[in-house]
Structure 1
Amino acid sequence: MKETRTLEYKSEVTNSFLKTVSAFSNFGTGKILFGVADDGAILGINDPEQKCLDIENKINDSISPKPDYALSINRLNNVITLEVNEGRYKPYFYKGKAYRRSDTASVEVDQIELKRLTLEGNNLYFESLANDAKDITFDELEKSLIDKLGVTEVNDDTLRTLGLYTKEGRLNNAASLLADKNDFSGIDVARFGNSIDEILDRESFIHMSVITQYDKALAMYRRYYQYEQIKGADRVLIEKVPEKAFREAVANALVHRTWDINANIRISMYDDRIEIASPGGLPSGISEDEYLHGNISTLRNPVLGNIFFRLHYIEMFGTGIKRIVDAYKDCPIKPRFEIKDNSITVTLPVLSATMSVTSDENKLIELLNREMRYSSSEIAEKLNWSKDKTVRNLNNLMDAGYVIKYGTGRGTKYSKK
C-alpha cells in the first residue's frame, strides 16, 4: 500500500512526523505507521513500547493545543500505528506553525488557511462574520422569498430568521452575498469556439446577489444548450446538457465555494461539454470519497446553504453530486469531478443522444419510478388525463426508451426504465 493524503510511513521515530500530526489534527483524521519504509516494506521498530513513550512525549511537548490521538502496536511485526483524529480546537501548531496535507507531504498553511482554521476552532464561519457594507438592499432576495415561499413581507425579523445577522445585531457576510450589490466576486461565464483562444461570448456576474448570479448563469446555459423543436402538435424542449445537472452544479459551486478569496467561479461552455470550476477544495473533514458519494455532513457556508435549500435551488444537503450523476443515469457518457486542494471542477458532457420529451411526457416521467408499477388507468387518474392521451404518451416514451412495459392485457403495468 502506498502513502496517501491520510496515510504516512516512517521507518523510525524522528521529529519529522510532528508536522503530519499538526496536519491531521487541522484537516482530517489520518494514520502514521512507524517501522514501515516509504515503499511500504515492513521494517519493524526495536523496543516499540519505549518508542510509543517517545512518540507521546514528542507530541505532548511540541503540538499545541494537545491533539486527539491513539497509539497501538502490532505484535506480529512491531509496527506502531499512530492515529490522529481531526481536532475541535484548531489551529494545531508545531513550533508555531500550522500544517496541512498536500498529497503525501505535510506543508505549512498560508495566511488565509490559518484564518479559516481559527474560525473553525471558534465554531465560526466566514459567512457569519460581520460585514461593514452600507445601504444594503435585498430586492432579489425579497422577490424570491415571495415567489417561492409565499412570504408577504421581508423585514429585519425575516433576515434574522434566515441567519443574516450576527449576535451583536450587525448584518453578516451571508447577508452581503444575498444583497443586490456587494463587493464579492461571482461567476465568470465564457462560451468557446473551436479552441480556448476563440471566445464567442463572455459575461461576468460579479458584485451582485448570489441569487442573481445563479439566474443569469442559468439564462446563459439555456441560450446555448436548450432549444425547441416542433414534434407533431407539440413544441419539444431539447436539452443538450441536462438542466437539472447544470442547476445542481452551479448551486453547489455557490454554496460550497470559499468566499474569503477574490476569485470567480468559472463556467466554461464548449460544444461537447460545460465545465464549472469553483474556488476552494473540499471542506475540512470531508474526504473525496464522501464528497463523490453524497455523504457531506459539513457545509462551508451553512447559512447560504439553508437559504438555497428553502428557495429550492438545492434539494437535501449533500445530495447535489448524486443528483448530477442521476441526471446522466441512462446515458453512456457521465459527468466528471476533479478535486484539487484549492478548486473543484465539475464537467457536464453534452448528450450524444439529446433528451427530447414533451411537457406531458415529462409529467409522466416524473410520476413513474423504477420501484412502483402503474396501470394506464392508474396513471390517467393521477394525471387527470383521458385514456387515449395516457396511452399515446406511454407509447411515445416506450419508443424513446424511457418507460418499460410489464405484462399484457388487463394486467399491463408500466414503470420508468
Structure 2
Amino acid sequence: MRENKRLEYKENMESGTFLKTISAYANYGGGKIIFGIADDGTVKGISKPEEACLNLENKINDSIKPVPEYSIEIGEDSTIILSVCEGPYKPYLYKGKAYKRYDSATIEVDRLEYGRLILEGQNQSYEELPSSMQELTFDRLEEELKESLGITSLNEDILKTLELYSEKRGFNNAAALLADRNQFPGIDMIRFGSSIDEIMDRATFEHMSVLAQLSSCIEMFQTYYQYEKIEGVERKQIDKIPEKAFREAIANALVHRAWDVRASIKISMFEDRIEISSPGGLPAGIGREEYLNGQISVLRNPILGNVFFRLKYIEKFGTGIMRINRSYSNALEKPSYQIFENSIQVVLPVIASDEKLSEKDKKILDIIRDKGTVSRSEIEKLAGTGKDSTIRSLNLLLKKHIIEKTGAGRGVKYHIR
C-alpha cells in the first residue's frame, strides 16, 4: 500500500520528523506510521524492536503536548506499527506548532486552522462565538418563522431555543448571520457571456440575512434559467436547470461553508451551466465519499443548519447532494462536484430541451460515464457496436455537449463533460 493521508512509512526513527505526523494525526482524523519500511516500499525492519518501542514511547510522551492516545505493536517482519487516534484535547503540538496531513505530506497549519483547532478543543464552533454586533434585528427571520412554524412573535425564549442567544454571552455568530444586517460576506452572483471576460450581469448580496441572500439568488436564477412555453391553451414553466437543485445547492453552501473565512460564495452563471463555489473544504473528519453519499455526520454550522431545517430549506442533514442528484434523475448530464482543500464547487448543467437518445446512444453514454475516460475501440467492444455506428453516437453526444474528447489520432479518448 502506498503512503497516503492516513499512512506514512519511515525507515527509522532517527530524524524525528515523524513527530510532526503524530501531531497531524492527533489533530485530524488519526492514522498510522509504520517504521522499518523504506520510501520505495522495501521492508527492512527495525533492529532491537522492543528497545525501539520504548524509545518511541518516550519521544512521543516528551514531545507532543498534550500526549495523544496511541498504540504501538511489533509486526512479524520486525516493523513497528504506531497507531494514533484523533484526540479531543486539540491542538496537539510538536515544539509549539500544530500540523496536518496534505495527501502524503505533513505541513504546519495556518493561523485560521490553528484557531479552529482551539475551538474544537473547547468543544465550540465559530457560529457559537459571541457576535461582535449585539444590536441585531430579526424581521426576516421572524416573518419566515411565523409562516413556517406559526409563531406569533420572535421572543427571547424562541431565540434561546434556537441557540441564537444566551443571557450570559448575548447573540452568537449564528444569530448575526440570520440578522437583517451583519458584517459577514455574502454571495457574488455573475452572469457571463460567451467567455469569462464578458460580464452580462452581476449582483452582490452581503451584510444581510442569509435568508435574504437565498431568496435574492433564487430571484436572479429565475430571471435567466426559467421560461414559459405555450402548450395548447396552457402556459408551462420550463426550468433550464431544476430550481430544486439550485435552491438546495445554495442552501447547502450557506449552511456548510466556513464563515470564519472572509470570502464570498461565488455563483458563476453560463449558458450551459451554473458553478457554485463555497469557501471552506470539508469539515474535519468527513471524507469525499461520505460527502458525496450524504453520510455527513459532522456539521460545520449545526445551529444555522437547524434553523434552515425548521424553515424547510433543507431536509435531513447531509442529504443535500442526494436531493440535487434526484432533481437530475431523468437528465443525461448530471451535476458534478469538485472538493478542494479550501473550497467546494458544485456544477449544475443546463438540461437540454431535446434530450432524446436511442438505447444505443444511452448504452454508450453509460459506458463513458462508468469508465471515466475511454477510447472508441474500447466502447465498441463493451457496447457490441460497429465502428460507424459508434462514431455516429459519439458525434451526437459531442454535439449535445454531453461528452468531450481529448487527444488526437489513435490517442483520442472520450469522457463526460
Query: TM range, normalised to the smaller chain?
Result: 0.7 to 0.9
Question: How many residues are treated as equivalent by the alignment?
Answer: 355
- Residue aligning to 2:324: 324
Asked if 1 retains the 8 angstrom alpha-carbon contact of 2:134 and 2:171, the reply is: no
- Residue aligning to 2:216: 216
The 1-side partners of 2:204 and 2:278 are apart by 14
The 2-side partners of 1:24 and 1:311 are apart by 38
Identify the range of structure 1 (115-124 vs 322-331) with the bigger mean alpha-carbon deviation. Answer: 322-331
Shift of 1:166: 3.6
- Residue aligning to 1:342: 342
- Residue aligning to 2:241: 241
Shift of 1:35: 2.1
- Residue aligning to 2:58: 57
The 2-side partners of 1:354 and 1:123 are apart by 52
Q: Show CA shifts across 1:71-128 (max 9, x none).
A: 22321x3332222111101010000000111222111111111111101100111111
Q: 1:93 to 1:166 in 2, by over 3 A?
A: farther
> Aligned AA for 1:10?
K
Pair 1:39-2:60 in alignment: no
Asked if 1 retains the 8 angstrom alpha-carbon contact of 2:308 and 2:314, the reply is: yes
- Residue aligning to 1:24: 25
Q: 1:45 to 1:142 in 2, by over 3 A?
A: same
- Residue aligning to 1:204: 204
> Aligned AA for 2:292?
L
Q: CA RMSD in A?
A: 1.7
Identify the range of structure 1 (46-55 vs 100-109) with the bigger mean alpha-carbon deviation. Answer: 46-55
**Matches for 1:131-146 after TM superposition, within 5 Å:** 131-146=131-146
The 1-side partners of 2:44 and 2:167 are apart by 55
- Residue aligning to 2:127: 127
The 1-side partners of 2:39 and 2:249 are apart by 39
Which SS does the other structure have where 2:37 is aligned? coil
- Residue aligning to 1:80: 80
Stretches of structure 2 lacking an aligned partner (at least 5 in a row): 356-417
Shift of 1:249: 1.2
**Matches for 1:306-317 after TM superposition, within 5 Å:** 306-317=306-317
The 1-side partners of 2:223 and 2:346 are apart by 20
- Residue aligning to 1:191: 191
Stretches of structure 1 lacking an aligned partner (at least 5 in a row): 356-417
> Aligned AA for 1:98?
A
Pair 1:163-2:163 in alignment: yes
The 2-side partners of 1:174 and 1:349 are apart by 32
**Matches for 1:265-414 after TM superposition, within 5 Å:** 265-353=265-353
Asked if 2 retains the 8 angstrom alpha-carbon contact of 1:8 and 1:31, the reply is: yes
Q: Show CA shifts across 1:119-152 (max 9, x none).
A: 1100111111111314311011011101112112
Pair 1:226-2:226 in alignment: yes
> Aligned AA for 1:12?
N
Asked if 2 retains the 8 angstrom alpha-carbon contact of 1:129 and 1:166, the reply is: no
Identify the range of structure 1 (201-210 vs 103-112) with the bigger mean alpha-carbon deviation. Answer: 103-112
> Aligned AA for 1:175?
A
The 2-side partners of 1:227 and 1:51 are apart by 71
Shift of 1:303: 0.4
> Aligned AA for 1:205?
F
- Residue aligning to 2:49: 48
Which SS does the other structure have where 1:101 is aligned? strand
Q: 1:336 to 1:265 in 2, by over 3 A?
A: same
Asked if 1 retains the 8 angstrom alpha-carbon contact of 2:214 and 2:250, the reply is: yes
> Aligned AA for 1:315?
E
The 2-side partners of 1:83 and 1:335 are apart by 38
- Residue aligning to 1:66: 67
The 2-side partners of 1:36 and 1:241 are apart by 52
- Residue aligning to 1:362: none
Shift of 1:38: 2.6
The 1-side partners of 2:328 and 2:46 are apart by 51
Q: Show CA shifts across 1:200-257 (max 9, x none).
A: 1111101000000111111111111111111123322211112222112111111111
The 2-side partners of 1:11 and 1:333 are apart by 48
Which SS does the other structure have where 2:278 is aligned? strand
Asked if 2 retains the 8 angstrom alpha-carbon contact of 1:91 and 1:98, the reply is: yes
Asked if 2 retains the 8 angstrom alpha-carbon contact of 1:10 and 1:33, the reply is: yes
Shift of 1:58: 1.3
- Residue aligning to 1:378: none
> Aligned AA for 2:52?
K
Moved beyond 3 Å, runs of 4+:
none
> Aligned AA for 1:350?
V
Task: Give the TM-score, by structure 2 length.
Answer: 0.82
Asked if 2 retains the 8 angstrom alpha-carbon contact of 1:333 and 1:351, the reply is: yes
Shift of 1:41: 3.3
Asked if 2 retains the 8 angstrom alpha-carbon contact of 1:238 and 1:354, the reply is: no
> Aligned AA for 2:23?
S
Q: Show CA shifts across 1:294-331 (max 9, x none).
A: 11111111100100111111110111112222222332
The 2-side partners of 1:255 and 1:195 are apart by 30
Shift of 1:354: 7.0
Asked if 1 retains the 8 angstrom alpha-carbon contact of 2:283 and 2:300, the reply is: yes
